[in-house]
Structure 1
Amino acid sequence: MKKIRFILFIAFIASAHALFGQGQIIDFLKAGQADANTLSQAYLLPYGEMLGVNLNSGWYNSAKVHKVGGFDFTITASYTTAPNSKKSFDPQKLPLTVLEQNTPGMAPTMAGSDKESMGFHFKDDPFKETVLNVEGANADFFVSPMIQAAVGLPFHTEIMGRFMPKTTYGDFGKAGLWGLGVKHEIKEYIPFVKRVPFLEASVLAAYTDFTADLSVDEPGVGAGKLETSAGAFTSRLLLGVNVPVVSFYTGLGYGTTTSNFDLKGTFNAGDEGELTDPVALEYKTDGFDFNAGMRIRLGIFSIHGDYSIGEYAVITGGVGINFR
């Protein structure tokens, strides 16, 4: 369990450390706090949204609800990819106060190619000398492992939970996660479905909360931490076919996510002097998505995989122990 918690945190800091701790966002501070936040908001958009989408993934691998006392323990991993529309942004649409792009065109987000870049200069500089470059980071995907359990209750209901106690990981920082979900069978309310033993129908509602503090240390610039909080809620209609060994499932639902990133500490911003707690970002998403998947069950052991279609595509796979 401890190793899996560590993998979850490493998956998060792998991209966060590259973006906050190795120069790109810190470099934005040269433009002052206002423009640094404006650029960071646009540049990190895929990262903030992919984090929320991942938290809404992996909640189920069947439309069937456990019988009373039935349970499952599942380990999953969700792989989310950013669409092409999130790999660049138009600087001319940003309310920049002191910066101006060197040439017309689109600038890469973190999900853009590392071969793409856009230079910026100060608006009041008659020589238009480049003061910073926005460069892509090829970070167009996000992977997150997840551990969760579910148990069957009376009245055709199942309660689910995911939990990772807030744990410190050496000098990296600390992270924690919890989530609760409820699944209720509605098969009995649908005349045709309730007469077919192998058809399943249920509804699900679930919420996940994630918090993390990541150490950020840029030599010669400053040290601090990146405080991250994210919440994700999903509600879904689940339909499935449950036969021996193999079952199929689909889910149609609506989800909302909110992710916050706050860079805390004092950093040297060059001509701008020192800035304290310079960056505070918030991302929100909402919308419908659809997924379809398959689970293979051998005794109490199972393996599953599914694909979600939405603004951000998600591939989820995992293994588990299931009883009743």
Structure 2
Amino acid sequence: MKALKFYFSIGLLISFLTSYSQSGIESLLSAGLEDANRFTNAYTKPGSDAVIYGLSNGWYNTAKVKSLGGFEISIIGGISQIRENNTSFALNENDYNALRFESGPAIQQVGTVFGQNSPDVRMNIIEANQNIATLTLPQGLASENIDYLPNLMLQGSVGLLFSTELKLRFLPEVETKDVTAQFYGAGLQHEFTNWIPGFKVLPIAISGFVGYNKFESEYRFSEQSTLISGSNQSVVTDIDSWHYALVASTKLPVINFYGSIGTVSGSADTRLKGEYVINTGVSEVAGTSIVDPLRTTSSVDGFRATLGTKLTLAFFRLNIDYSFQEFNSLNVGINFGI
């Protein structure tokens, strides 16, 4: 999976998508659409949720907004933790119409997009007590010895009127033979303490923040399974992420501390696009051609708290923070501006 390692060099944004597309998950269509959709939703949900949370990282490093015309350019990088409970899920074969474990009990823990199956987990496709085919369940990122998600983005900030700061961020567009991806976001931060008499002279600032991110991508299949053929096959993902926060920080000359409490919400929509010809499968799908067969959706609405510190040296600033959320993250920012 050389491509997987390349895509990780540009951040977490297409990590779970890449694993999804290279897993051979389309082979599950041979078990029927209901079984394929049920498994795919459970397999991909942790990845979708992680990206939604990850997009909320690194928006701010102080509650003090910039004065009118002040600006800052930031390079923000970090890692998000993958917890053990996000690496597997309990698959109960009784919840499926045609999928049955080749061996072992009817309920087994199998890997998600973040996990792995060691040894491989094989499942039979059964119809009318006949074994139609056998497939191997997809592996996840742990099979590549990846136990965290990297994050990298560029961000620009500029001070506006009325103690407000505009932030814009993006990931340079990725376009290769197999992948097209783009990411952008915008946020507003407003400092409340500038409106409260007497607070301007205190060494603290308090502000409110709202930010929105959008991620769109397509991964085009370059290989096909023995059970499935077809044309124009790809995975298309559309993710929206919102972050609302109350931010507080000190206002000291060189070293400052900041923190925030807030929420993260968003949704992810991932679709298997193209034509899929089921060469071998249950009678519902065998010998048929299906267009855009799978769709998985995921949404989150969770709490987030951040603690960090920032070092200021003239026009150069360095900050580091840690965020407590469903996928805890450590972030570092290199900032230039006035």
TM-score, length-normalised on structure 1?
A: 0.87
1:132-159 Cα deviation digits (max 9, x unpaired): 2325421543223111111111211111
- Alpha-carbon distance in 1 for matches of 2:11, 2:190: 34
Q: Does 1:105 align with 2:102?
A: no
Residue of structure 2 in register with 1:171 after alignment:
177
Instruction: Give, as a single letter, the amino acid of the residue that structure 1 aligns with 2:67.
Output: K
1:230 to 239, 256, 263: 239
After superposition, the Cα gap between the structure-2 partners of 1:158 and 1:253, relative to the gap in structure 1 and judged at 3 Å, is same
Q: Is residue 250 of structure 2 the alignment partner of residue 245 of structure 1?
A: no
Between 1:119-128 and 1:31-40, the stretch displaced more is: 119-128
1:190-243 alpha-carbon deviations (Å, 9 max, x no partner): 678x16532111110111111112212224534422211111011100011132
| Counterpart residue number, 1:290 | 305
* Aligned 1:147-158 pairs, distance under 5 A: 147-158=154-165
Letter in 1 for 2:209: L
Identify the residue that residue 215 of structure 2 maps to in structure 1. Answer: 210
Who is 1:36 aligned against?
A: 36
Structure 1 gap ranges (5+): 1-5
Residue of structure 2 in register with 1:198 after alignment: 203
- 8 Å contact from structure 1 (residues 305, 317) kept in 2: yes
Q: Which residue of the partner structure matches residue 55 of structure 2?
A: 55
Aligned partners of 1:247, 1:209: CA distance in 2, in Å?
31
Whole-angstrom CA distance in 2 between matches of 1:172 and 1:134: 23
- For 1:10 and 1:136, locate their aligned partners in 2 and report how far apart those are by CA, in whole Å: 20
Shift of the alpha carbon at 1:125? 6.1
CA 1:162 to 1:97, structure 2 compared with 1: closer, same or farther past 3 Å?
A: same
Matches within 5 A, 1:1-324: 12-20=13-21, 22-92=22-92, 95-101=95-101, 102=103, 103=105, 104-115=107-118, 117-124=120-127, 126=129, 131-137=134-140, 138=142, 140-164=147-171, 167=173, 169-188=175-194, 194=199, 197-219=202-224, 221-222=229-230, 223-271=232-280, 272-273=286-287, 274-323=289-338
CA distance 1:195–1:94, change in 2 (3 Å): farther
How much identity, in percent, do the aligned residues show? 25
Is residue 214–residue 239 contact of structure 2 (8 Å, CA) maintained in 1?
yes
Question: Any idea what SS the aligned residue of 1:48 has?
Answer: helix
Unaligned runs of 5+ in 2: 1-6, 281-285
Amino acid at match of 1:282: T
1:53 counterpart letter in structure 2: Y
Residue aligned with 1:183, SS: strand
**How many residues are paired up?**
315
Deviates more, 1:30-39 or 1:264-273: 264-273
Distance 2:98 2:8 in 1: 41
Give the Cα–Cα distance (whole angstroms) in 2 for the partners of residues 94 and 261 of structure 1: 26
Question: Which amino acid in 2 is paired with 1:131?
Answer: T
2:61 counterpart SS class: coil
User: Quick one: distance in 2 between partners of 1:94 and 1:62?
Assistant: 52
Once residues 73 and 27 of structure 1 are traced to their aligned partners in structure 2, the CA distance between those partners, rounded to angstroms, is 45
Using the alignment, how far apart are the partners of 2:129 and 2:19 within structure 1? 33
Deviation at 1:46, TM superposition (A): 1.5
Asked if the contact 1:116/1:136 (under 8 Å) is kept, the reply is: no
Residues 1:189 and 1:203: Cα distance change in structure 2 (over 3 Å): same
Change (3 A) 1:127 1:288: same
* Amino acid corresponding to residue 153 of structure 2 in structure 1: M
Distance 1:175 1:121, change over 3 A: same
Kept after mapping to 2: 8 A contact 1:187/1:201:
yes
Q: Distance in 1 between matches of 2:278 and 2:9?
A: 32
Q: TM-score, normalised by structure 2?
A: 0.84
| Contact 1:33–1:275 under 8 Å retained in 2 | no
Note closer, same or farther for the CA distance 1:11–1:236 as it changes in structure 2 (3 Å cut): closer
Task: Give the aligned residue type for 2:297.
Answer: E
In structure 2, distance between residues paired with 1:9 and 1:229: 18
Change beyond 3 A, Cα 1:17–1:163: closer
* Distance across 1 between alignment mates of 2:177 and 2:83: 33
Q: Is the 8 A contact 1:307 1:313 kept in 2?
A: yes
**Residues of 2 paired with 1:116 and 1:248: CA distance?**
47
Which residue identity does 1:259 align to in structure 2?
A
